Amino acid sequence: MKLSNDADIKQTITRVKDLLNHLENDQIEDAEKVLEDFSIKDNGDLFSEIGKLTRNLHEALSSFNLDSKITDIAASEIPSAKDRLNYVIERTEEAANQTMDMVENCSRMADTLSSDSQELLVEWQKLYKRELAAGEFRKLCKRIESHFKKSTKTSDDLHKALSDVLLAQSYQDLTGQAIKEVISLVHEVEESMVNIIKVFGDMDKYHEAKGKVVKRKEAEGPIVNKDKRDDVVNGQDEVDDLLSSLGF
Amino acid sequence: MDKNMKILVVDDFSTMRRIVKNLLRDLGFNNTHEADDGLTALPMLKTGNFDFLVTDWNMPGMQGIDLLKAVRADEKIKTLPVLMVTAESKREQIIEAAQAGVNGYIVKPFTAGTLSEKLNKIFERIES
């Protein structure tokens, strides 16, 4: 029974008066009819409330169904994301080691080339200073010839090693693809979590927390959002400035 | 600066240890040894007669900052020069390392020039 406005109240007063009249005049059937009207009207309100609740429940359930995706995510997508990230670690480590192998080879080749040239230069300068005996000149020519041959070979080897270094960088493409997959999964998880908060949680708190930058006290490795942080240094110069301000 | 000095390089990533060792070799230091965290490094330092320690901060087991504190707390090795090479770049961490007695602090990524400069600075101070 609604008594929310004047019309309702007036209508109810009229009906109660009718009911009393009918009862005082022994018009039992008429009195019963008035009572029946009351209860039908009440049930009508009840039914519409139940209707609303059912609709809400249905919406909640269907949005929760949407998040049955979460089962798939937890059961297979997260484990496969871990595999992907491990793959990234393996490929980058492999590429770093391959590159360093080649760089070390190249350094050795360059060192040999340089020391051979140095030695020959000393001999060659002896020639100018007329310190070279006649027989030694022939030997020097032979050595220079073999140095030229060796240099050509070393240059080819260097070139080959450098193109291997170049090729080793293909890890960037492969790992980039694997990381993109993981990023899109993280995005999906985020959406599902927001849906759950919408249905069961507090969206205001969510929006409030969204702007916060989480600062951790312990070691956290490279800082990836330096522009949003005011508690970190930007590069070696700032480290040096900070340390010298401390009297270092 | 003695080019034959015994150096321990501590980092949990083998690639970073290799990079540091290569750079040290280019600077003429060949007597380099490796450990992958503080727990393996500390006993080596206690018995190995090392002259210099280069350590990362963020490592499993024992972190670099705790290794530094353990070194400074050990009567036998407390004067060992320590250079931190790390990605940790929070001001309060740099201050913590300075207060714990670090001799130099390099943030990753770094250059060969920076490593050489910090090494020279550390040993100039010690020798003066």
| B88–A220 CB contact, under 8 Å | yes
In terms of CA atoms, which chain A residue is nearest residue B25? Answer: A104
Burial B4-33 (b: 16+ CB within 10 A, else e): eeebbbbbbeebbbbbbbbbbeeeebeebe
| A220–B89 CB contact, under 8 Å | no
CA-nearest of B94, B73, B75, B115 to A248 is B94
Query: Would you call B30 an interface residue with chain A, using a CB distance cutoff of 8 Å?
Result: no
* Cross-chain CB nearest to B90 (options A103, A232, A235): A232
| A248–B98 CB contact, under 8 Å | yes
| B90–A223 CB contact, under 8 Å | yes
Confidence at A144, pLDDT banded by 50, 70, 90: very high
DSSP A74: I
In a mutational test of the B interface, the residue from A92, A213, A231, A233 whose CB has the highest number of chain B CBs within 10 Å is A233
Query: Would you call B58 an interface residue with chain A, using a CB distance cutoff of 8 Å?
Result: yes
* Cross-chain CB nearest to B15 (options A96, A234, A243): A96
Say whether pLDDT at A45 is over 70: yes
Could you identify the residue written with the tokens 């130099």? B104
In terms of CA atoms, which chain A residue is nearest residue B125? Answer: A248
Query: Would you call B81 an interface residue with chain A, using a CB distance cutoff of 8 Å?
Result: no
Say whether pLDDT at A1 is over 80: no
B14 CB neighbours in chain A (<8 A) are 93
Confidence at A66, pLDDT banded by 50, 70, 90: low
What confidence tens digit (pLDDT) does each residue in B60-96 have?
999 999 999 999 999 999 999 999 999 999 999 999 9
CB A123 within 8 A of CB A132: yes
Confidence at A65, pLDDT banded by 50, 70, 90: low
Closest CA of chain B from A55, distance in Å: 52
Confidence at A70, pLDDT banded by 50, 70, 90: confident
| More confidently predicted of B41 and A218 | B41
Confidence at A219, pLDDT banded by 50, 70, 90: confident
| B91–A242 CB contact, under 8 Å | yes
Q: What is the pLDDT of residue A2?
A: 57
Query: Would you call A231 an interface residue with chain B, using a CB distance cutoff of 8 Å?
Result: yes
**Angstrom distance (rounded) from CA A92 to CA A89:** 5
**Angstrom distance (rounded) from CA A228 to CA A234:** 12
CA-nearest of A178, A173, A168 to A88 is A178
Question: Helix H segments across A67-133?
Answer: 69-72, 78-128
The pTM (predicted TM-score) of the whole model is 0.73
Amino acid at A241: D
- Note if the bond before B43 is cis, omega within 30 degrees: no
- Collapse the DSSP code of B33 into the 3-class scheme (helix H, G, I; strand E, B; otherwise coil) and give the result: strand
Confidence at A67, pLDDT banded by 50, 70, 90: low
* Cross-chain CB nearest to B105 (options A100, A234, A239): A239
Query: Would you call A104 an interface residue with chain B, using a CB distance cutoff of 8 Å?
Result: yes
In a mutational test of the B interface, the residue from A104, A105, A248 whose CB has the highest number of chain B CBs within 10 Å is A248
End-to-end CA distance of chain B: 11
Q: What is the pLDDT of residue A23?
A: 85
CB B21 within 8 A of CB B9: yes
